[in-house]
Amino acid sequence: MNKSRIFTVLLISSSILFLSCNEGVKDEPKPVDIQELTKNQPETHGTELKEGDIKLTNPLDQAMVSAGKATYELKCLSCHKLTDEKLVGPGWAGVTKKRQPTWIMNMITNVDMMLEKDPEAQKLLELCLVRMPNQNISQDEARKVIEFMRSNDGEK
Ligand code: HEC
């Protein structure tokens, strides 16, 4: 036997070995890659509100204004000023004039969804470079914050 023949024999026998090993693996169950599975699923937090889901009333409900102010002081004040000056997030002055109440509600109760698909929210993210955290605010709480924002914008 010359050298190249030995080499060929080795090559063939090792590939038979390789194939048979592979076949053994084929029958074992494959582990599920959760990240791959959920890759294209949207995040869902809270409920997405549609135009018209929120009714504003005049005059302002003062009890809601003060409840909203309390929430603001506890959970929002560290990032939002009441003027138009930016802190971590944009200042709130004028926010109820330039945004629909449903938009604001979704931003407060469903911020991940908004940052994922709403162009206006994404513009703010580009500006602020920080993702507003999901603060687990209920719709009821958020509605009261809107009343406080309206009062901050000079509504009576
Ligand atoms: C850790 C900082 C932080 C906290 C706390 C925070 N926000 Fe924000 N907020 C942001 C940032 C940053 C943005 C801009 C969007 C982005 O970058 O994610 C934003 C955007 C917003 C907007 C849109 C403003 C506009 O000009 O359209 C609203 C409304 C808002 N936040 C409400 C709230 C409310 C209500 C709370 C408290 C319950 C709160 N935020 C708490 C950082 C924060």
Residues 6+ apart with CB under 8 A from 19: none
Q: Is the pLDDT of residue 10 over 80?
A: no
pLDDT of residue 52: 79
C-beta separation of 107 from 114 below 8 A: yes
Range from 11-15, 71-75, 81-85 carrying the lowest mean pLDDT: 11-15
Q: Residue type for 120, please?
A: E
Residue identified by tokens 């005049």 is: 58
pLDDT of residue 48: 78
Distance (Å) from CA 85 to ligand 1 centroid = 13
Q: Residue type for 79, please?
A: C
Q: Residue type for 77, please?
A: L
Residue identified by tokens 């029958």 is: 27
pLDDT class of 9 with cuts at 50, 70, 90: low
pLDDT class of 85 with cuts at 50, 70, 90: very high
- CA 75, distance to chain mean position in Å, is 18
Q: Is 131 in the pocket of ligand 1 (CB under 6 A)?
A: yes
Q: Is 146 in the pocket of ligand 1 (CB under 6 A)?
A: no
pLDDT class of 106 with cuts at 50, 70, 90: very high
Q: Is the pLDDT of residue 13 over 60?
A: no
Q: Is the pLDDT of residue 54 over 60?
A: yes
> How confident is the prediction for the chain on average, in pLDDT?
83
pLDDT class of 82 with cuts at 50, 70, 90: very high
Of 72, 74, 79, best ligand 1 pocket probe by most atoms within 8 Å of the beta carbon: 79
Looking from the CA of residue 137, the nearest atom of ligand 1 is 38
